[in-house]
Amino acid sequence: MITRRFALGLTWATAASALWRAALAAAPRKPDLGDAVEGAYVGDVISDSQGSSKDDVRLTVRRIGRNLVEIASDYPRLPIVSVHLTSAMGRILNASGDTTFLYDRSKSPPHLDVSFHQEVSWSGERR
């Protein structure tokens, strides 16, 4: 049997939980590596195990999670991939997986090299 005191306690707990979730959602998040690399890039396919190179290929890097980005392209040979990021020696690179991601922010404009599944490589700059 549920007592009135227990029911009021549940109501307060539910309200407090909702307030806590709202506060977390409204709190500004700290920028991460995904924010640093997010943007549009233009470059060239420089190596392809199943075809030839191609100039003026546009990549879009979009942050989809903490230190996680999705890479898409206007060139059908380049697949859409997700890459977990880490930082080393002043560069941002993939933390794991078979897609190489190397972002060099020391160059102006910043330079990005991506090798999709170790099959096709792209190199370019942020626009």
Task: Say if CB 116 and CB 78 are below 8 A apart.
Answer: yes
Backbone angles phi, psi at 99, to 5 degrees: -105, 115
- Please give the span between the terminal C-alpha atoms of the chain, in angstroms, as a whole number: 66
* pLDDT for 82: 97
pTM: 0.76
Q: For residue 11, is it within any domain?
A: no
Query: Does residue 7 form part of some domain?
Result: no
Give the pLDDT score at 22. 73
Angle at 55 between CA 99 and CA 62, to 5 degrees: 45
Domain that holds residue 117: 33-126
CB 54 within 8 A of CB 44: yes
Report angle CA 118, 123, 124 to the nearest 5 degrees: 150
Render pLDDT for 9-57 as a digit per residue (tens, 0 to 9): 556 567 667 776 776 677 788 999 999 999 999 999 999 888 889 999 9
- pLDDT: is 26 or 60 the higher one? 60
- Number of compact structural domains in the chain: 1
Domain-located, residue 20: no
**Residue 26 within any structural domain of the chain:** no
Tens of pLDDT, residue by residue over 62-121, are 999 999 999 999 999 999 999 999 999 999 999 999 999 999 999 999 999 999 998 999
- Residue 17, in any domain of the structure: no
Residues 48, 73: Cα–Cα separation, whole Å: 15
- Asked if the structure places residue 28 within a domain, the reply is no
pLDDT at residue 18, rounded to an integer: 73
Q: What is the pLDDT of residue 120?
A: 94
